[in-house]
Chain A
Amino acid sequence: MAHAVEVRGLKKHFEKGDVRAVDGVDITTEEGEYLVLLGPSGCGKTTLLRMIAGLEEPTEGDILIAGNVVNGLPPRARGIAMVFQSYALYPHKTVLDNIVFPLKAAEIEPTVRREKADWAAGLLGIDHLLDRKPRHLSGGERQRVALARAIVRDPSVFLLDEPLSNLDAKLRTSARDELKRFQEQLGTTTIYVTHDQVEAMGLGDRIAVILDGKVRQIGPPRDVYSDPADTFVATFIGAPPMNLIDRGDHLLGFRPETFLPVGAINGTGGSVLEVDVRAHRIEYLSGDRHVFATVSGLGPDDAQIIARIPATVDAAVTVDRDQRFAVHEKDLRFFDGETGKRTDPRPVRS
């Protein structure tokens, strides 16, 4: 079976400002997959999406949709639909006219148009809004209209460009859940761009972490989280980020939730590394405790780290007193001191 979307050696070079927005990207998506492109702003993820959509021409490389090279084809010939960050609804058209616009452009019969629009509106629960103009809708409703406009044409690929970033924080969680269920219902291959790692972890079947126009790592959320390919991925994903301790020619890393008071560590997980820790501040966040502390003995210098003690662990932690914390050696990750890339485990004690 052909890949839903495949990009090969894709590059985009902007003459203005001499920017390499996308600098050699290879990605393939499977049919029905939810792929998230995650990266900080300016990393090239939106440019990558716009090239797949056909809104930008790549400087180099190929884009394949359903096995066919689509370079040079206009968006309408690519079988894609896109939802924009601003939703880009047509302000002078009613919700219904917005939804049927792609069908009108494809010169589909008016009766069929209406049927499809009703189906899409029903699916998204916006049937009662069809006569309204976009300016009378809330942010969440606008987003649904944008989605409805995207699905009426039955595209083979959905491209979503930060569709949740214009919603307020409270709405975002429920919108995320809806978006995921919606995609599962339709089973359409989706490429989703975001800078929010929570969205990426929650929505993606796989995540491609992008920095400076290059894919740093691609894989299921669990793998990207627990086995980051380099120090950028290690610190960009996870809140608080992975702790990194400089040990000269390499860095030692561990996730905050793997670093616990000695008494709380599970004894069955293999050998354990114990260290002295002096906490200087503790934050209580939705049950978990974030311990900001200094560790000594892991590197040439003392290092600042953050430990996250889950709500289920009630070991006492006191500020400004030396305590023993421990981490399973299997939870330790090692990175090259020069390149930041993952390396083989090193002996922890010298």
Chain B
Amino acid sequence: MTPAQTVAGERILEPARPKRRLADREGLLAKLFLIPTFVYIVGLVAFPFVLAILFSFSGVTTGNPSLEFVGLRQWRTILGSSVFWTSFWNTLTFTLISMTFVVLISHVLATILVKDFRGKWIVRFCVLLPWTTPASLAAVSWLWMLHSIFSPIDWVLRWVGLIEENMYWLGRPFLAMGSIIAVNTWRIVPVATVIVMAGLMAIPDDINDAVEIDGAGPWRKLREITLPLTLPISAVAALFGAILTFADMTIIFVLTRGGPTQSTQTLSSWAYFKGIEGGDLAQGAAVALFLFPLLLAAAIAILRLVRRSEVM
């Protein structure tokens, strides 16, 4: 009902005053809508981060929750530990090799999946399957696949005649590292494939036609057109995968628990074993904080690449 309506022929002289409703007050709304994000960042990111920094300068353990300042003692301890350096190099090896495979495999899969062919849906389904498999189910399957006695991989290899006795995938340092790299690659390839597919589909059809008109063969096309044009997005996929790999400890926790003899220990798994299972919260926090500059660098690189590919 408008205030200007007439009641029984009598005119209401007061002009209609437009009302400012809540939906019109953008300043207030902006603050209101920001609250959930703000609460989330402060509560679940900033607070644990500050707490971790405090912990790393204290002597806190699960048995002694007092925040007693001990200076750089915890940092000196972990930097002096040989396990730290093993974990550090393992983290780098684990991440770099996994990501190399992820980029290669996801490029191949994405190239296949952007084409039209019969039965494409089933290939797409299989590619995305690892991503949709619940982590616990995946872990159990992989434990079985790599089991020292019942491994089906060993069984097949024995049957083919490639090996005489079981490989003990998770029992030898080199094979254990290879195994966790394989499982991690398996886990991250689906996301990377989707990202690279988006990059491939963003190349205009005209560009692909022009390459054909200009007479370039498939190798030249890949080297001079497709790869350079998908480079930014491949880098985003790799860095995204690297962050997931750096910060992940579930694969190692389930498969090797860092063994044999720390050969698959990474910073995040060691931080977990030390801080949570070992109860030394302070040292766990210090180890975990070592990941921070690496993750920060990766995140900054991603944001820059995204911006660069936007202006192109």
Contacts and interface: CB of A to CB of B under 8 A. Distances in A.
Interface of A: 50, 53-55, 74-76, 80-82, 84-93, 101-102, 104-106, 135, 149, 153
A89 B213 CA distance: 12
Contacts of B161: none
Contact of A88 (B206, B216, B220): B206
A49 to B, nearest CB: 11
B302 to A, nearest CB: 20
B206 A55 contact: no
B308 to A, nearest CB: 11
Given A91-B229, A92-B228, A76 B215 contact: yes
Contact of B210 (A80, A84, A106): A84
Given A55-B209, A105-B214, A149-B214, A88 B204 contact: yes
A75 B229 contact: no
A162 to B, nearest CB: 12
B312 A81 contact: no
Contacts of B207: 88, 90
Contacts of B214: 76, 101-102, 105, 149
Given A55-B212, A88-B204, A90-B210, 9 more contacts: A55-B213, A74-B215, A76-B213, A80-B213, A84-B209, A86-B204, A88-B209, A90-B225, A102-B213
Contacts of A85: 206
A86 B206 contact: yes
Nearest to B214: A102
A153 B220 CA distance: 17
B215 A75 contact: yes
- Closest 9 pairs between A and B when the two form their complex, measured CB to CB: A76-B215, A88-B206, A88-B210, A102-B214, A105-B216, A105-B215, A84-B206, A92-B228, A82-B213
Residue from B204, B206, B207, B215 with most neighbouring chain A CB atoms (10 Å): B215
Interface string B207-235: 10110111111001000110011000000
Given A86-B206, A91-B229, A101 B212 contact: no
B311 interface: yes
27 contacts: A53-B213, A54-B212, A55-B213, A74-B215, A75-B215, A76-B213, A80-B213, A81-B213, A82-B213, A84-B209, A86-B204, A88-B204, A88-B206, A88-B207, A88-B209, A88-B210, A90-B210, A92-B228, A93-B224, A101-B214, A102-B214, A102-B215, A104-B224, A105-B216, A105-B220, A135-B311, A149-B214
A85 B214 CA distance: 16
B213 A75 contact: yes
A89 B211 CA distance: 10
B190 to A, nearest CB: 28
A106 B214 CA distance: 8
B209, B216, B225, B228 interface centre (most CB from chain A within 10 Å): B209
Contacts of A76: 212-215
Contacts of A102: 213-215
B212 A75 contact: yes
